[in-house]
Chain A
Amino acid sequence: MNKYKRFAFPYLVWMIILTIVPIILMLVLSFIQMEGFNLSSAKFSLSAFEKTFNREIIIAFSNSIKLATIATILCVIIGYPVAYIVSKLKIQNKFSFLLILILPMFTNMLLRVNTINRLLLPEGFLKNVFGISLNYSGTEFAVVLVMVVVYLPFMIFPIFTVLEKIDPSLLEASKDLGANNWKTFMKVTLPLSLKGVSSGIIMVFLPTATSFTIPQIVSRGRIKLIGNIIEEKLGLATAAVDYPVGSLISILILVIVLGALYIISRVDAEGETLL
Protein backbone atom coordinates (compact mmCIF):
# COMPACT_ATOMS: atom_id res chain seq x y z
CA MET A 1 0.00 0.00 0.00
CA ASN A 2 3.05 2.21 -0.43
CA LYS A 3 1.28 4.26 -3.08
CA TYR A 4 -0.75 5.94 -0.35
CA LYS A 5 2.25 7.34 1.48
CA ARG A 6 1.73 10.71 -0.15
CA PHE A 7 -1.54 11.16 1.78
CA ALA A 8 0.47 11.56 4.97
CA PHE A 9 2.51 14.48 3.72
CA PRO A 10 -0.23 17.14 3.53
CA TYR A 11 -1.23 16.16 7.06
CA LEU A 12 2.32 16.76 8.25
CA VAL A 13 2.29 20.21 6.63
CA TRP A 14 -1.15 21.00 8.10
CA MET A 15 -0.06 19.90 11.58
CA ILE A 16 3.20 21.83 11.37
CA ILE A 17 1.32 25.04 10.49
CA LEU A 18 -1.40 24.65 13.11
CA THR A 19 0.48 22.88 15.92
CA ILE A 20 4.24 23.28 15.68
CA VAL A 21 4.40 26.88 14.41
CA PRO A 22 2.22 28.28 17.23
CA ILE A 23 4.32 26.37 19.78
CA ILE A 24 7.44 28.03 18.40
CA LEU A 25 5.64 31.37 18.37
CA MET A 26 4.66 30.95 22.02
CA LEU A 27 8.23 29.99 22.91
CA VAL A 28 9.47 33.18 21.25
CA LEU A 29 6.77 35.28 22.88
CA SER A 30 7.80 33.97 26.32
CA PHE A 31 11.13 35.75 25.96
CA ILE A 32 9.99 39.12 24.74
CA GLN A 33 8.20 42.19 25.91
CA MET A 34 5.63 43.95 23.77
CA GLU A 35 2.48 46.01 23.81
CA GLY A 36 -0.64 44.20 22.67
CA PHE A 37 0.05 42.02 19.65
CA ASN A 38 2.49 44.41 18.05
CA LEU A 39 5.49 42.41 16.94
CA SER A 40 7.41 45.52 15.83
CA SER A 41 7.48 46.84 19.41
CA ALA A 42 8.86 43.56 20.67
CA LYS A 43 12.21 43.30 22.38
CA PHE A 44 14.01 40.58 24.30
CA SER A 45 13.08 40.41 27.98
CA LEU A 46 12.70 37.94 30.79
CA SER A 47 9.89 39.90 32.39
CA ALA A 48 7.34 37.22 31.51
CA PHE A 49 9.19 34.82 33.82
CA GLU A 50 9.12 37.32 36.68
CA LYS A 51 5.44 38.04 36.18
CA THR A 52 4.56 34.37 36.00
CA PHE A 53 5.92 33.58 39.42
CA ASN A 54 3.60 35.89 41.29
CA ARG A 55 1.16 34.86 43.97
CA GLU A 56 -2.00 34.79 41.91
CA ILE A 57 -0.57 32.51 39.25
CA ILE A 58 1.07 30.14 41.75
CA ILE A 59 -2.24 29.86 43.63
CA ALA A 60 -3.99 29.11 40.33
CA PHE A 61 -1.43 26.39 39.58
CA SER A 62 -1.86 24.77 42.97
CA ASN A 63 -5.66 25.06 42.73
CA SER A 64 -5.51 23.31 39.37
CA ILE A 65 -3.41 20.47 40.69
CA LYS A 66 -5.41 20.07 43.90
CA LEU A 67 -8.92 20.13 42.43
CA ALA A 68 -8.03 18.09 39.34
CA THR A 69 -6.30 15.45 41.49
CA ILE A 70 -9.33 15.07 43.74
CA ALA A 71 -11.69 14.93 40.74
CA THR A 72 -9.47 12.36 39.01
CA ILE A 73 -9.27 10.12 42.08
CA LEU A 74 -13.05 10.26 42.48
CA CYS A 75 -13.46 9.42 38.79
CA VAL A 76 -11.24 6.33 39.20
CA ILE A 77 -13.11 5.24 42.34
CA ILE A 78 -16.50 5.60 40.61
CA GLY A 79 -15.51 4.88 37.01
CA TYR A 80 -13.54 1.66 37.47
CA PRO A 81 -16.38 -0.23 39.16
CA VAL A 82 -18.87 1.06 36.56
CA ALA A 83 -16.68 -0.14 33.69
CA TYR A 84 -16.04 -3.44 35.50
CA ILE A 85 -19.68 -4.13 36.32
CA VAL A 86 -20.84 -3.27 32.79
CA SER A 87 -18.12 -5.41 31.22
CA LYS A 88 -19.30 -8.36 33.35
CA LEU A 89 -23.00 -7.92 32.55
CA LYS A 90 -24.52 -10.87 30.77
CA ILE A 91 -26.37 -8.84 28.15
CA GLN A 92 -25.82 -8.65 24.41
CA ASN A 93 -25.24 -5.00 23.83
CA LYS A 94 -22.93 -3.90 26.61
CA PHE A 95 -21.57 -1.00 24.62
CA SER A 96 -25.06 0.42 24.06
CA PHE A 97 -25.77 0.08 27.76
CA LEU A 98 -22.66 2.11 28.42
CA LEU A 99 -23.76 4.68 25.84
CA ILE A 100 -27.09 5.09 27.58
CA LEU A 101 -25.28 5.50 30.87
CA ILE A 102 -23.26 8.36 29.49
CA LEU A 103 -25.90 9.83 27.19
CA PRO A 104 -25.89 13.10 29.20
CA MET A 105 -22.43 13.69 27.76
CA PHE A 106 -24.20 14.63 24.53
CA THR A 107 -26.02 17.59 26.02
CA ASN A 108 -24.29 20.91 26.15
CA MET A 109 -21.60 20.97 28.84
CA LEU A 110 -21.95 24.65 29.71
CA LEU A 111 -25.66 24.25 30.23
CA ARG A 112 -25.13 21.22 32.47
CA VAL A 113 -22.48 23.00 34.53
CA ASN A 114 -24.77 25.95 34.95
CA THR A 115 -27.74 23.77 35.89
CA ILE A 116 -25.80 21.80 38.50
CA ASN A 117 -24.46 24.99 39.99
CA ARG A 118 -27.94 26.49 40.27
CA LEU A 119 -29.13 23.36 42.06
CA LEU A 120 -26.49 24.02 44.70
CA LEU A 121 -27.90 27.44 45.56
CA PRO A 122 -29.70 27.62 48.91
CA GLU A 123 -32.73 29.39 47.45
CA GLY A 124 -34.06 28.00 44.22
CA PHE A 125 -35.66 25.17 42.36
CA LEU A 126 -34.58 22.38 44.73
CA LYS A 127 -35.80 24.24 47.81
CA ASN A 128 -39.12 25.38 46.37
CA VAL A 129 -39.99 22.13 44.64
CA PHE A 130 -38.36 19.40 46.73
CA GLY A 131 -37.73 21.27 49.96
CA ILE A 132 -34.01 20.52 49.82
CA SER A 133 -31.72 23.45 50.45
CA LEU A 134 -28.05 23.05 49.56
CA ASN A 135 -25.48 25.74 49.98
CA TYR A 136 -22.45 24.70 47.96
CA SER A 137 -22.66 26.99 44.95
CA GLY A 138 -19.33 28.61 44.21
CA THR A 139 -17.31 26.38 46.56
CA GLU A 140 -14.40 24.13 45.70
CA PHE A 141 -16.68 21.20 46.48
CA ALA A 142 -19.03 22.38 43.72
CA VAL A 143 -16.14 22.71 41.26
CA VAL A 144 -15.00 19.13 42.00
CA LEU A 145 -18.55 17.76 41.84
CA VAL A 146 -19.14 19.34 38.44
CA MET A 147 -15.76 18.07 37.18
CA VAL A 148 -16.67 14.52 38.22
CA VAL A 149 -20.12 14.63 36.61
CA VAL A 150 -18.75 16.06 33.37
CA TYR A 151 -15.58 13.97 33.01
CA LEU A 152 -16.62 10.60 34.46
CA PRO A 153 -17.37 9.16 30.98
CA PHE A 154 -13.78 9.87 29.93
CA MET A 155 -12.64 7.56 32.72
CA ILE A 156 -15.23 4.85 32.10
CA PHE A 157 -14.62 4.45 28.37
CA PRO A 158 -10.90 3.62 28.22
CA ILE A 159 -11.20 1.26 31.21
CA PHE A 160 -14.18 -0.47 29.63
CA THR A 161 -12.26 -0.83 26.34
CA VAL A 162 -9.32 -2.63 27.94
CA LEU A 163 -11.53 -4.78 30.20
CA GLU A 164 -13.46 -5.98 27.15
CA LYS A 165 -10.22 -6.98 25.45
CA ILE A 166 -9.04 -9.26 28.28
CA ASP A 167 -9.11 -12.85 27.09
CA PRO A 168 -11.68 -14.70 29.25
CA SER A 169 -9.58 -17.85 29.12
CA LEU A 170 -6.97 -16.06 31.23
CA LEU A 171 -9.54 -15.65 34.00
CA GLU A 172 -10.58 -19.28 33.68
CA ALA A 173 -6.96 -20.36 33.85
CA SER A 174 -6.45 -18.31 36.99
CA LYS A 175 -9.47 -19.94 38.62
CA ASP A 176 -8.41 -23.41 37.49
CA LEU A 177 -5.08 -22.79 39.14
CA GLY A 178 -6.85 -22.19 42.43
CA ALA A 179 -7.17 -18.42 42.71
CA ASN A 180 -10.44 -17.09 44.07
CA ASN A 181 -12.37 -14.20 42.49
CA TRP A 182 -10.55 -11.55 44.48
CA LYS A 183 -7.11 -12.95 43.76
CA THR A 184 -7.96 -13.35 40.06
CA PHE A 185 -9.02 -9.73 39.96
CA MET A 186 -5.89 -8.50 41.73
CA LYS A 187 -3.42 -10.67 39.81
CA VAL A 188 -4.97 -10.81 36.34
CA THR A 189 -7.73 -8.29 35.63
CA LEU A 190 -6.31 -5.27 37.42
CA PRO A 191 -2.78 -5.41 35.97
CA LEU A 192 -4.18 -5.96 32.48
CA SER A 193 -6.51 -2.98 32.83
CA LEU A 194 -3.93 -0.49 34.10
CA LYS A 195 -3.35 0.72 30.56
CA GLY A 196 -6.96 1.89 30.43
CA VAL A 197 -6.73 3.41 33.90
CA SER A 198 -3.66 5.43 32.96
CA SER A 199 -5.35 6.70 29.79
CA GLY A 200 -8.42 7.55 31.83
CA ILE A 201 -6.37 9.42 34.43
CA ILE A 202 -4.73 11.49 31.71
CA MET A 203 -8.05 12.10 29.93
CA VAL A 204 -9.61 13.37 33.15
CA PHE A 205 -6.70 15.11 34.84
CA LEU A 206 -5.51 17.23 31.90
CA PRO A 207 -8.86 18.78 30.93
CA THR A 208 -9.96 19.33 34.54
CA ALA A 209 -6.66 20.91 35.55
CA THR A 210 -6.78 23.30 32.60
CA SER A 211 -10.52 23.87 32.53
CA PHE A 212 -11.56 27.48 32.55
CA THR A 213 -15.30 27.24 32.04
CA ILE A 214 -16.10 25.09 35.07
CA PRO A 215 -14.43 27.31 37.71
CA GLN A 216 -15.59 30.42 35.87
CA ILE A 217 -19.25 29.39 35.82
CA VAL A 218 -19.35 27.73 39.23
CA SER A 219 -17.46 30.30 41.24
CA ARG A 220 -18.03 33.34 39.01
CA GLY A 221 -14.34 34.07 38.86
CA ARG A 222 -13.61 33.61 42.57
CA ILE A 223 -11.72 30.34 42.27
CA LYS A 224 -9.12 30.56 39.55
CA LEU A 225 -7.45 27.64 37.86
CA ILE A 226 -4.56 27.98 35.46
CA GLY A 227 -6.94 27.94 32.47
CA ASN A 228 -8.62 31.06 33.80
CA ILE A 229 -5.27 32.83 33.97
CA ILE A 230 -4.49 31.92 30.35
CA GLU A 231 -7.92 33.11 29.28
CA GLU A 232 -7.32 36.34 31.18
CA LYS A 233 -3.91 36.97 29.65
CA LEU A 234 -4.78 35.97 26.10
CA GLY A 235 -8.52 36.45 26.07
CA LEU A 236 -10.45 38.79 23.88
CA ALA A 237 -12.31 40.91 26.34
CA THR A 238 -10.14 41.51 29.35
CA ALA A 239 -7.91 44.44 30.18
CA ALA A 240 -5.24 42.18 31.64
CA VAL A 241 -4.04 41.01 28.20
CA ASP A 242 -0.41 39.96 28.38
CA TYR A 243 0.70 37.78 25.50
CA PRO A 244 4.19 36.90 26.84
CA VAL A 245 2.86 35.70 30.23
CA GLY A 246 -0.01 33.80 28.61
CA SER A 247 2.42 32.17 26.19
CA LEU A 248 4.80 31.16 28.93
CA ILE A 249 2.03 29.50 30.96
CA SER A 250 0.78 27.75 27.81
CA ILE A 251 4.28 26.43 27.20
CA LEU A 252 4.48 25.14 30.78
CA ILE A 253 1.18 23.29 30.29
CA LEU A 254 2.39 21.97 26.96
CA VAL A 255 5.45 20.47 28.66
CA ILE A 256 3.14 18.58 31.03
CA VAL A 257 0.97 17.46 28.09
CA LEU A 258 4.04 16.21 26.22
CA GLY A 259 4.97 14.22 29.32
CA ALA A 260 1.50 12.65 29.27
CA LEU A 261 1.88 12.00 25.56
CA TYR A 262 5.13 10.21 26.24
CA ILE A 263 3.44 7.99 28.85
CA ILE A 264 0.60 7.22 26.41
CA SER A 265 3.05 6.39 23.62
CA ARG A 266 4.74 3.96 26.03
CA VAL A 267 1.62 2.09 27.14
CA ASP A 268 -0.49 2.50 24.01
CA ALA A 269 1.43 3.31 20.82
CA GLU A 270 -1.61 3.34 18.56
CA GLY A 271 -3.60 5.59 20.87
CA GLU A 272 -6.53 3.17 20.94
CA THR A 273 -7.55 4.05 24.48
CA LEU A 274 -7.70 7.76 23.67
CA LEU A 275 -11.10 7.45 22.04
Chain B
Amino acid sequence: MMSLNQVKKEKVVKKVGSGLKFTFLALVMFLMYFPILIIIIQSFNANGQGTDFGGFTFRWYGEMFKDTNLMNAIVVTISISIISTIVATILGTLFAIGINSLNSKRRKRMILINNVPVLNAEVVTGVSLFFVFKTFGILIGNEYLLGYTTLLIAHIFFSIPYVVLSVLPKLNEIDKNLYDAALDLGCTPASALRKVIIPSIMTGILTGAMLAFTMSFDDFVISYMVAGEEIKNFSMWIYANQKLSGRSLVWPKGYAYNSIVTLITLFALIVYNIIAAKKNKAKGKA
Protein backbone atom coordinates (compact mmCIF):
# COMPACT_ATOMS: atom_id res chain seq x y z
CA MET B 1 0.00 0.00 0.00
CA MET B 2 1.17 3.46 -0.85
CA SER B 3 1.31 5.82 2.06
CA LEU B 4 -0.39 9.18 1.89
CA ASN B 5 3.00 10.86 1.72
CA GLN B 6 3.99 8.91 -1.33
CA VAL B 7 0.78 9.88 -3.13
CA LYS B 8 1.44 13.52 -2.26
CA LYS B 9 5.01 13.22 -3.51
CA GLU B 10 3.85 11.78 -6.82
CA LYS B 11 1.39 14.62 -7.24
CA VAL B 12 4.14 17.18 -6.66
CA VAL B 13 6.40 15.42 -9.16
CA LYS B 14 3.60 15.46 -11.71
CA LYS B 15 2.92 19.15 -11.14
CA VAL B 16 6.59 20.07 -11.46
CA GLY B 17 6.74 17.91 -14.59
CA SER B 18 3.83 19.63 -16.28
CA GLY B 19 5.21 23.01 -15.24
CA LEU B 20 8.51 22.12 -16.91
CA LYS B 21 6.69 20.93 -20.01
CA PHE B 22 4.74 24.16 -20.21
CA THR B 23 7.87 26.29 -19.77
CA PHE B 24 9.67 24.29 -22.45
CA LEU B 25 6.83 24.67 -24.99
CA ALA B 26 6.61 28.38 -24.16
CA LEU B 27 10.35 28.80 -24.75
CA VAL B 28 10.18 27.04 -28.11
CA MET B 29 7.18 29.16 -29.05
CA PHE B 30 9.13 32.27 -28.11
CA LEU B 31 12.05 31.16 -30.27
CA MET B 32 9.73 30.66 -33.23
CA TYR B 33 7.53 33.71 -32.74
CA PHE B 34 9.96 36.40 -31.63
CA PRO B 35 11.23 37.20 -35.15
CA ILE B 36 7.64 37.36 -36.43
CA LEU B 37 6.69 39.67 -33.61
CA ILE B 38 9.61 41.94 -34.45
CA ILE B 39 8.59 41.97 -38.14
CA ILE B 40 5.07 43.02 -37.17
CA ILE B 41 6.33 45.73 -34.80
CA GLN B 42 8.70 47.01 -37.47
CA SER B 43 5.88 47.20 -40.00
CA PHE B 44 4.19 49.79 -37.75
CA ASN B 45 7.43 51.53 -36.82
CA ALA B 46 7.66 55.18 -37.85
CA ASN B 47 11.45 54.88 -37.67
CA GLY B 48 12.07 53.54 -41.17
CA GLN B 49 15.59 52.29 -40.45
CA GLY B 50 14.14 50.11 -37.74
CA THR B 51 16.94 50.82 -35.29
CA ASP B 52 14.62 52.33 -32.70
CA PHE B 53 10.89 52.60 -32.12
CA GLY B 54 9.84 55.97 -33.51
CA GLY B 55 6.11 55.76 -32.90
CA PHE B 56 3.18 53.98 -34.47
CA THR B 57 2.33 54.45 -38.15
CA PHE B 58 0.35 52.91 -41.00
CA ARG B 59 2.60 54.67 -43.50
CA TRP B 60 4.33 51.53 -44.83
CA TYR B 61 1.05 49.79 -45.55
CA GLY B 62 0.20 52.66 -47.88
CA GLU B 63 3.64 53.01 -49.43
CA MET B 64 3.82 49.32 -50.09
CA PHE B 65 1.26 49.74 -52.87
CA LYS B 66 3.19 52.60 -54.46
CA ASP B 67 6.43 50.62 -54.76
CA THR B 68 6.28 49.19 -58.29
CA ASN B 69 9.17 46.77 -57.79
CA LEU B 70 7.62 45.32 -54.66
CA MET B 71 4.16 45.17 -56.22
CA ASN B 72 5.52 43.38 -59.29
CA ALA B 73 7.28 40.90 -57.02
CA ILE B 74 4.08 40.28 -55.06
CA VAL B 75 2.08 39.74 -58.26
CA VAL B 76 4.70 37.26 -59.50
CA THR B 77 4.74 35.42 -56.15
CA ILE B 78 0.97 35.12 -55.93
CA SER B 79 0.28 34.31 -59.58
CA ILE B 80 3.07 31.73 -59.78
CA SER B 81 2.01 29.99 -56.59
CA ILE B 82 -1.69 29.87 -57.58
CA ILE B 83 -1.08 28.60 -61.12
CA SER B 84 1.63 26.14 -60.11
CA THR B 85 -0.48 24.80 -57.23
CA ILE B 86 -3.48 24.15 -59.50
CA VAL B 87 -1.40 22.49 -62.21
CA ALA B 88 0.77 20.50 -59.78
CA THR B 89 -2.26 19.30 -57.82
CA ILE B 90 -4.06 18.01 -60.91
CA LEU B 91 -0.97 16.41 -62.45
CA GLY B 92 0.34 15.09 -59.13
CA THR B 93 -2.98 13.42 -58.36
CA LEU B 94 -3.11 11.71 -61.76
CA PHE B 95 0.54 10.67 -61.47
CA ALA B 96 -0.08 9.25 -58.01
CA ILE B 97 -3.06 7.26 -59.31
CA GLY B 98 -0.80 5.98 -62.08
CA ILE B 99 2.01 5.05 -59.69
CA ASN B 100 -0.46 3.32 -57.37
CA SER B 101 -1.64 0.98 -60.14
CA LEU B 102 1.88 -0.17 -61.03
CA ASN B 103 3.29 -3.45 -59.76
CA SER B 104 5.27 -3.23 -56.57
CA LYS B 105 8.73 -3.17 -58.14
CA ARG B 106 7.98 -0.36 -60.60
CA ARG B 107 6.00 1.46 -57.95
CA LYS B 108 9.01 1.52 -55.62
CA ARG B 109 11.20 2.77 -58.44
CA MET B 110 8.80 5.60 -59.28
CA ILE B 111 8.55 6.63 -55.62
CA LEU B 112 12.35 6.72 -55.48
CA ILE B 113 12.53 9.05 -58.51
CA ASN B 114 9.67 11.09 -57.05
CA ASN B 115 11.63 11.63 -53.85
CA VAL B 116 14.78 12.91 -55.54
CA PRO B 117 13.60 16.55 -55.79
CA VAL B 118 12.12 16.35 -52.28
CA LEU B 119 15.44 15.47 -50.70
CA ASN B 120 17.84 17.03 -53.15
CA ALA B 121 19.63 20.19 -52.13
CA GLU B 122 17.68 23.17 -53.41
CA VAL B 123 20.82 24.58 -54.99
CA VAL B 124 21.38 21.37 -56.93
CA THR B 125 17.74 21.20 -58.05
CA GLY B 126 17.95 24.83 -59.11
CA VAL B 127 21.17 24.22 -61.01
CA SER B 128 19.70 21.11 -62.69
CA LEU B 129 16.69 23.06 -63.94
CA PHE B 130 18.95 25.92 -64.98
CA PHE B 131 21.00 23.49 -67.10
CA VAL B 132 17.89 21.98 -68.70
CA PHE B 133 16.46 25.38 -69.59
CA LYS B 134 19.81 26.65 -70.78
CA THR B 135 20.42 23.62 -73.00
CA PHE B 136 16.87 23.77 -74.32
CA GLY B 137 17.38 27.47 -75.05
CA ILE B 138 20.54 26.73 -77.02
CA LEU B 139 18.74 23.96 -78.92
CA ILE B 140 15.90 26.24 -80.02
CA GLY B 141 18.25 29.15 -80.59
CA ASN B 142 16.95 31.40 -77.81
CA GLU B 143 19.64 32.03 -75.20
CA TYR B 144 17.45 34.28 -73.07
CA LEU B 145 14.79 31.78 -72.25
CA LEU B 146 14.82 32.32 -68.49
CA GLY B 147 11.77 34.21 -67.24
CA TYR B 148 8.20 33.81 -66.06
CA THR B 149 7.55 30.56 -67.95
CA THR B 150 10.68 28.79 -66.73
CA LEU B 151 9.91 30.00 -63.20
CA LEU B 152 6.42 28.53 -63.49
CA ILE B 153 7.69 25.20 -64.87
CA ALA B 154 10.23 25.00 -62.05
CA HIS B 155 7.55 25.58 -59.42
CA ILE B 156 5.26 22.97 -60.95
CA PHE B 157 8.23 20.60 -61.03
CA PHE B 158 9.16 20.88 -57.36
CA SER B 159 5.51 20.90 -56.19
CA ILE B 160 4.34 17.71 -57.91
CA PRO B 161 6.36 15.29 -55.71
CA TYR B 162 4.70 16.70 -52.56
CA VAL B 163 1.25 16.17 -54.06
CA VAL B 164 2.20 12.61 -55.05
CA LEU B 165 3.49 11.91 -51.52
CA SER B 166 0.27 13.18 -49.93
CA VAL B 167 -2.08 11.36 -52.30
CA LEU B 168 -0.36 7.93 -52.37
CA PRO B 169 -1.19 6.90 -48.78
CA LYS B 170 -4.86 7.78 -49.33
CA LEU B 171 -4.93 5.65 -52.49
CA ASN B 172 -3.50 2.79 -50.47
CA GLU B 173 -6.48 2.97 -48.12
CA ILE B 174 -9.09 2.67 -50.90
CA ASP B 175 -10.97 -0.62 -50.95
CA LYS B 176 -10.30 -2.13 -54.40
CA ASN B 177 -13.77 -3.69 -54.41
CA LEU B 178 -15.28 -0.22 -54.44
CA TYR B 179 -13.69 0.47 -57.79
CA ASP B 180 -14.72 -2.94 -59.19
CA ALA B 181 -18.26 -2.36 -57.96
CA ALA B 182 -18.36 0.97 -59.78
CA LEU B 183 -17.30 -0.73 -63.00
CA ASP B 184 -19.86 -3.52 -62.50
CA LEU B 185 -22.57 -0.92 -62.04
CA GLY B 186 -21.77 0.57 -65.41
CA CYS B 187 -19.10 3.19 -64.72
CA THR B 188 -16.36 3.70 -67.29
CA PRO B 189 -12.85 3.89 -65.80
CA ALA B 190 -12.99 7.66 -66.31
CA SER B 191 -16.26 8.11 -64.44
CA ALA B 192 -15.13 5.68 -61.73
CA LEU B 193 -12.12 7.94 -61.29
CA ARG B 194 -14.36 10.97 -60.95
CA LYS B 195 -17.10 9.43 -58.79
CA VAL B 196 -15.24 6.93 -56.61
CA ILE B 197 -11.50 7.46 -56.50
CA ILE B 198 -11.17 11.25 -56.44
CA PRO B 199 -13.74 11.72 -53.62
CA SER B 200 -12.04 9.10 -51.45
CA ILE B 201 -8.60 10.70 -51.77
CA MET B 202 -9.81 14.29 -51.43
CA THR B 203 -8.10 14.94 -48.07
CA GLY B 204 -4.78 13.83 -49.54
CA ILE B 205 -5.29 16.05 -52.57
CA LEU B 206 -6.04 19.05 -50.36
CA THR B 207 -3.01 18.40 -48.14
CA GLY B 208 -0.87 18.16 -51.26
CA ALA B 209 -2.29 21.40 -52.64
CA MET B 210 -1.61 23.17 -49.36
CA LEU B 211 1.97 21.91 -49.27
CA ALA B 212 2.52 22.86 -52.91
CA PHE B 213 1.22 26.35 -52.28
CA THR B 214 3.39 26.86 -49.19
CA MET B 215 6.49 25.61 -51.00
CA SER B 216 5.90 27.82 -54.01
CA PHE B 217 4.92 30.91 -52.04
CA ASP B 218 8.10 30.92 -49.98
CA ASP B 219 10.62 29.63 -52.50
CA PHE B 220 13.84 31.45 -53.08
CA VAL B 221 16.78 29.30 -54.15
CA ILE B 222 15.23 27.51 -57.13
CA SER B 223 13.38 30.63 -58.30
CA TYR B 224 16.58 32.63 -58.08
CA MET B 225 18.34 30.22 -60.41
CA VAL B 226 15.67 29.88 -63.10
CA ALA B 227 13.85 33.22 -63.21
CA GLY B 228 16.46 35.16 -65.16
CA GLU B 229 17.20 38.77 -64.42
CA GLU B 230 13.90 40.48 -65.17
CA ILE B 231 11.40 38.52 -63.09
CA LYS B 232 11.51 38.61 -59.29
CA ASN B 233 9.30 37.05 -56.65
CA PHE B 234 9.06 38.41 -53.10
CA SER B 235 12.01 36.36 -51.79
CA MET B 236 14.16 37.53 -54.68
CA TRP B 237 13.07 41.10 -54.01
CA ILE B 238 14.33 40.76 -50.44
CA TYR B 239 17.60 39.23 -51.60
CA ALA B 240 18.11 42.01 -54.13
CA ASN B 241 17.56 44.62 -51.40
CA GLN B 242 19.86 42.77 -49.03
CA LYS B 243 22.73 45.14 -49.67
CA LEU B 244 20.59 48.24 -49.29
CA SER B 245 20.29 48.28 -45.52
CA GLY B 246 19.81 51.38 -43.45
CA ARG B 247 18.98 54.52 -45.35
CA SER B 248 16.83 53.08 -48.10
CA LEU B 249 13.30 52.89 -46.75
CA VAL B 250 12.61 49.66 -48.58
CA TRP B 251 12.49 47.16 -45.71
CA PRO B 252 9.43 48.44 -43.81
CA LYS B 253 7.29 47.87 -46.91
CA GLY B 254 8.47 44.27 -47.02
CA TYR B 255 7.62 43.95 -43.31
CA ALA B 256 4.16 45.36 -44.00
CA TYR B 257 3.46 42.87 -46.79
CA ASN B 258 4.78 40.01 -44.68
CA SER B 259 2.59 41.01 -41.73
CA ILE B 260 -0.49 40.95 -43.97
CA VAL B 261 0.48 37.44 -45.11
CA THR B 262 0.95 36.30 -41.49
CA LEU B 263 -2.46 37.68 -40.56
CA ILE B 264 -4.17 35.92 -43.48
CA THR B 265 -2.45 32.61 -42.63
CA LEU B 266 -3.50 32.88 -38.99
CA PHE B 267 -7.06 33.70 -40.02
CA ALA B 268 -7.19 30.76 -42.45
CA LEU B 269 -5.88 28.44 -39.74
CA ILE B 270 -8.53 29.58 -37.26
CA VAL B 271 -11.35 29.21 -39.82
CA TYR B 272 -10.06 25.76 -40.71
CA ASN B 273 -10.06 24.78 -37.03
CA ILE B 274 -13.60 26.00 -36.47
CA ILE B 275 -14.83 24.05 -39.49
CA ALA B 276 -12.94 20.92 -38.38
CA ALA B 277 -14.36 21.23 -34.85
CA LYS B 278 -17.90 21.59 -36.23
CA LYS B 279 -17.45 18.54 -38.43
CA ASN B 280 -16.19 16.56 -35.45
CA LYS B 281 -19.24 17.58 -33.44
CA ALA B 282 -21.59 16.62 -36.26
CA LYS B 283 -19.89 13.23 -36.46
CA GLY B 284 -20.25 12.80 -32.70
CA LYS B 285 -24.00 13.45 -32.88
CA ALA B 286 -24.56 11.04 -35.76
Contact residues, B35-52 vs A (CB, 8 A): 35-36, 38-39, 42, 50-52
**Which residues from A are CB-within-8-Å of B276?**
93, 96
Interface bracket on A: 35 or more
Dominant SS among interface residues on chain B:
helix
Partner of A236 from B38, B157, B229, B280 at Cβ < 8 Å: B229
Q: How far is the CB of B125 from chain A (nearest CB, A)?
A: 9
Shortest distance between the CB of A239 and any CB in chain B (Å): 16
Cross-chain contact of A108 among B113, B207, B218 (Cβ < 8 A): B218
B residues less than 8 Å from A269 (CB atoms): 108, 111
Stretch at the interface among A48-56, A110-118, A171-179, A182-190: A110-118
Q: A37-B134, A271-B118 are in contact. Are A104 and B35 (CB under 8 A)?
A: yes
Say if the beta carbon of A164 comes within 8 Å of chain B. no
Task: Give the size range of B's interface with the partner.
Answer: 35 or more
**Are B220 and A104 in touch, CB under 8 angstroms?**
no
User: Given A108-B258, A207-B121, is A5 in contact with B101 using a C-beta cutoff of 8 Å?
Assistant: yes
Known A25-B131, A254-B124, A261-B116: A108·B238 in contact at CB below 8 Å: yes
Q: In the complex, are the beta carbons of B121 and A257 less than 8 A apart?
A: yes
**How many A-B residue contacts, CB cutoff 8 Å?**
253
| New contact pairs (9) apart from A15-B114, A101-B29, A213-B221, CB-CB < 8 Å | A4-B101, A18-B128, A25-B131, A82-B28, A92-B277, A103-B269, A128-B51, A129-B52, A250-B128
Interface residues of A (CB under 8 A from B): 1-12, 14-15, 17-23, 25-26, 37, 39, 78, 81-82, 85-86, 92-93, 96, 99-112, 114-116, 118-119, 123-125, 128-129, 148-149, 152, 202, 206-207, 209-210, 212-213, 217, 227, 230-231, 234-236, 246-247, 250, 253-254, 257, 260-261, 264-265, 269-272, 274-275
Closest 4 CB pairs of A and B: A7-B98, A8-B98, A210-B121, A22-B128
